[in-house]
Amino acid sequence: MEAMAEHSQETQVTGESGADKIQERLQRRHQARAKDAERKKEAQESRSVAEEKSEYFCSTFNAERASIEELLSSCSGADRAVVTQTLEEATVKTLQLQKFLNDSMLFLTQYELRRAQDALKKLLTSSADIREEALPKKKFAFRARSKATDKVSAPPVTDTPTVTDSTKVDVAPAESVQCCFSNMENVCVIKTAEEIHKQDVLLTHLTNCKVRLFGSPSTLHMTHIDNCEILCGPVSSSVFVDHCRNSTLAIPCQQLRTHNTTDTQVYLHVTSRAIVEDCRGVGFAPFTFSYPTLDEDFIVSGLDRDRNNWSQVDDFNWLAAGTPSPNWTVIPEADRKTNWEL
């Protein structure tokens, strides 16, 4: 009898244990199904949010693009001053649209991203074409008091910057004419505030040169610059750099566009954003160049001295969200230049 009782108790315990295990398996299965349902719900909500964000992006982007296109269309038949102001406004809006695109990359499809990028490039091309047609660069004659190949080992250090007889280039008088330095090697070029005030300054085909521009020009164009050091006062609007290599630039400006540039350091004060395209090995650091009338020139230029976006650089060739562009870097503080020869 005792054996039968013990067997009955063991059977009851085994039955309870098997029931518990079945209940436990059912509970785990229920939890797994609940988690799976929750994941599917979250995925569906995520897709809905992404679709809503994508729809918002497309509608906002297209509206802003249309606004910029309307601005550019208004340049037709307008006078020079109106065209200049309109183009500057269009450029600022285009930069803002580029930032909007950069901030939206995480939820855009590759197709949407490519379409937006192409639209931006078309806007930039249209703006450049209008600028070229409506604001052509005037041709003018200039004479040098000596050959451009005269070598100067270092720029003169004086209380008031002047242009030495061995390096000065006189521009033929003309109203609203740009100041140009072209096809020079191994020279030091200095311009005072009176000489470049509100002028369009062009530096082209310079090799092993030192350039000092004291004052506030309207725009600054630099093309085909090789192994040069170019220091400039506050530029009231835009700076354009193209085909520059192995050089050092120090510039305050409203906006900076850099193309086809390699192994160049840029000490920058920019109130909007800097753009690089087809560049490699470009380093950025905050503007550190100083001279006696810099504060006055900042006032003349209208630039905000307290607003400097020197490290906010948009690379038109790099669209990988969350990954820094390999084409430009921030210059380490220990390697930054702080002492400049005037």
Judgement on whether residues 209 and 85 belong to the same structural domain of the protein: no
With respect to residue 152, please indicate whether it lies within any of the assigned structural domains: no
| CATH code for the domain of 250 | 2.160.20.70
Same domain, residue pair 304 and 218: yes
Higher pLDDT, 334 or 126: 334
Q: Which is higher by pLDDT, 242 or 179? A: 242
142 in a structural domain: no
Could you tell me if 188 and 121 lie in one domain?
no
Answer whether residue 159 is part of any domain. Answer: no
pLDDT above 50 for 158: no
Reply yes or no on whether the pLDDT at 50 is more than 60.
no
Q: Would 143 be classed as within a structural domain? A: no
Same domain, 124 and 184: no
Same domain, yes or no: 278 and 187: yes
> Does some domain include residue 19?
no
Report the mean per-residue pLDDT for the chain. Answer: 79
Kindly state the average pLDDT of the residues 51-58.
80
Weakest-pLDDT range from 140-149, 186-195, 272-281, 287-296: 140-149
Residues 117 and 200 in one domain: no
CA–CA distance, 272 with 92 (Å, rounded to integer): 8
pTM of model > 0.85:
no
Q: Which of 134, 158, 193 is the last residue of a domain?
A: 134
Mean pLDDT of 28-55: 70
- Name 10's Cβ contacts closer than 8 Å, sequence gap at least 6: none
CATH number for position 43? 1.20.58.1250
pLDDT-derived band at 62 (thresholds 50, 70, 90) equals very high
Query: Which of these, 277, 297, 281, 260, lies nearest to 330 by C-alpha position?
Result: 281
User: Do 200 and 72 have their domain in common?
Assistant: no
Does residue 34 carry a pLDDT above 80? no
- How much is the pLDDT for 316? 87
Q: Of 134, 150, 170, which closes a domain?
A: 134
pLDDT of residue 168: 35
Residue 53: give the domain boundaries.
Answer: 24-134
Flag the least confident range among 54-63, 101-110, 191-200: 101-110
User: How many domains does the chain divide into?
Assistant: 2
Question: What is the per-residue pLDDT across 65-115, written as a single tens digit (0 to 9) for each?
Answer: 999 999 899 888 888 888 888 887 887 788 788 778 877 777 788 888 888
